[in-house]
């Protein structure tokens, strides 16, 4: 199939790779030339490693690499059957892109957003052919994480939902379907893992180290909630909670933590800043 991915950042470059590995022709579009170059060297690096590990041959590598065509022009996407948008998480940006796509692409093209928290219904509103606009939410890193959430906007057609589910299966992913509600499935149901742990910390019931040990040893979770926040980035985690809280009209179950907010304000964001709930400076 002819697939295009808009935005060649963290998610877009990974999604392009997932598609190319399954034999799709991919147009990888980004307005920033240097991002496209970075994405290409990232793809080279991953594919070279695949060759080294004997997972693919040199010629297969070339074929996959050549099937990803970088471009800076939206007009180039006119013939694509599936478009996956992965630009930064801003409503105005995404709305503009879907408006443009709905005019440029054929009426049958499926237009999909990788948004983590913006309503698909809102992105689609006013576009030509709202029934073919859906969410296709990958998890980071896209080439590794098996899950994708297929999100049904209020006007998405069931036929198109099934088409996207099949597309995801053909990519080797595990698709689940859900309605357009804040945080979809994972980002919503996982909130208490972080929030309630922060709440427990706030009441001094246990320390972060203790809570992590309890959740892994008593609960069998792979990583404790505090070590995991440090890995994800405390700012990213806080932003997700805030967004779910706001979009649920301040439902108390999603209330963000003041401790977490202070950490963000202090710039203690986790591993990436050398310290979060734990110290990584040594």
Partner 1 sequence: MTIANKKVLVAGMSPLAQELKELISKHGAQVLSLDQLDEHQDSLDYVVEVTNYNLEDKKRIIQQIDQALAARPEVPILTTSLAITATEVASWTTSPQRVCGFGTFVPLAERKLIELAPALQTEESIVKKVEAFVQSLEKETSIVDDEVGLVFPRVLSLIINEAVFALMEGTASKEDIDIAMKKGTNYPYGPLEWADQIGLDEVYAVVRGLYRDLGEERFRPASLLRKMVLAGRVGKRSNQGFYSYNK
Q: Does the active-site annotation cover 187?
A: yes
Q: Could you say which of 119, 187, 195, 257 is catalytic?
A: 187
Q: Could you say which of 13, 113, 116, 195 is catalytic?
A: 116
Binding mask 73-112 for ligand NAD (x = CB under 6 A): -------------xxxx---x---x---------------
Q: Could you say which of 85, 137, 195, 257 is catalytic?
A: 137
Selected binder of ligand NAD within 3, 5, 8, 244 (CB under 6 A): 8
In the numeric block, the tokens 């008593």 are attached to 218
> Does 241 contact ligand NAD by CB under 6 A?
no
Pick from ligand NAD, partner 1, none: which does 275 bind, CB < 5 to 8 A by kind? Answer: none
Structure-token pair, residue 235: 């700012």
> Does 19 contact ligand NAD by CB under 6 A?
no
Q: Does the active-site annotation cover 32?
A: no
138 close to 163: Cβ distance less than 8 angstroms: no
Q: CB-wise, 32 or 106, nearer to ligand NAD? A: 32
Q: Phi and psi (nearest 5°) for 227?
A: -60, -35
Q: CB-wise, 91 or 205, nearer to partner 1? A: 205
Give min distance, CB of 54 to ligand NAD, in A. 30
149 close to 184: Cβ distance less than 8 angstroms: yes
> Does 18 contact ligand NAD by CB under 6 A?
no
82 close to 92: Cβ distance less than 8 angstroms: no
> Does 246 contact ligand NAD by CB under 6 A?
no
Query: Which alpha helices (H) appear in 105-155, and where do they start and end?
Result: 120-124
- The answer, yes or no, to whether the previous bond of 141 is cis (omega within 30 of 0) is yes
Q: What is the largest CA-CA distance in the chain?
A: 59
115 close to 94: Cβ distance less than 8 angstroms: yes
Give the separation between CA 7 and CA 37, rounded to whole angstroms: 12
Q: CB-wise, 9 or 192, nearer to ligand NAD? A: 9
Selected binder of ligand NAD within 3, 4, 5, 7 (CB under 6 A): 7
Strand segments (E) across the chain: 2-6, 25-29, 68-71, 82-85, 110-113, 133-138, 147-152, 174-179
Residues in region 137-166 near ligand NAD by CB under 6 A: 138-140
C-alpha to C-alpha distances, 115 to 42, 211, 235, nearest whole angstrom: 22, 31, 17
What is the contact surface with partner 1 in residues (CB under 8 A)?
139, 145-147, 149, 174, 176-179, 181, 184-186, 188-193, 195-197, 199-200, 203-206, 210-211, 213-215, 217-223, 225, 251-255
C-alpha to C-alpha distances, 141 to 80, 137, 144, 167, nearest whole angstrom: 24, 12, 6, 19
Q: Judged by CB under 6 A, which stretch of 26-34, 100-108, 188-196, 222-230 contacts ligand NAD? A: 26-34
Give the residue from 133, 170, 126 showing the smallest Cα distance to 153: 133
Return residues touching ligand NAD (CB under 6 A).
6-12, 29-32, 35, 86-89, 93, 97, 114-116, 138-140
Q: What residues are annotated to the active site?
A: 116, 137, 149, 187
């Amino acid at each position: 199939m002819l697939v295009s991915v808009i935005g060649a950042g963290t998610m877009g470059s990974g999604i392009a790779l997932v598609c190319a590995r399954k034999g799709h022709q991919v147009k990888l579009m980004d307005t920033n030339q240097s991002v496209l170059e970075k994405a290409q060297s990232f793809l080279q690096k991953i594919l070279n490693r695949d060759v080294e590990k004997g997972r693919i041959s040199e010629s297969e590598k070339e074929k996959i690499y050549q099937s990803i065509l970088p471009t800076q022009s939206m007009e180039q996407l006119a013939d694509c059957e599936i478009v996956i948008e992965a630009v930064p998480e801003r409503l105005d940006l995404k709305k503009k892109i879907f408006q443009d796509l709905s005019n440029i692409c054929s009426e049958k093209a499926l237009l999909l957003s990788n948004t983590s928290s913006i309503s698909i219904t809102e992105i689609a509103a006013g576009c030509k052919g709202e029934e073919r606009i859906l969410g296709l939410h990958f998890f980071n890193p896209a080439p590794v994480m098996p899950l994708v959430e297929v999100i049904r906007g209020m006007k998405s057609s069931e036929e198109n939902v099934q088409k996207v589910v099949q597309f995801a299966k053909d990519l080797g992913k595990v698709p689940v379907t859900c309605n357009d509600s804040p945080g979809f499935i994972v980002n919503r149901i996982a909130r208490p893992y972080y929030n309630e742990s922060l709440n427990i910390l706030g009441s001094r019931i246990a320390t972060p180290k203790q809570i992590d040990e309890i959740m892994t040893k008593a609960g069998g979770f792979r990583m404790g909630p505090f070590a995991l926040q440090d890995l994800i980035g405390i700012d990213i985690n806080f932003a997700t909670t805030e967004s779910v809280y706001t979009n649920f009209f301040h439902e108390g179950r999603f209330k963000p933590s003041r401790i977490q907010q202070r950490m963000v304000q202090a710039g203690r964001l986790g591993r990436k800043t050398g310290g979060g709930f734990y110290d990584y400076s040594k």
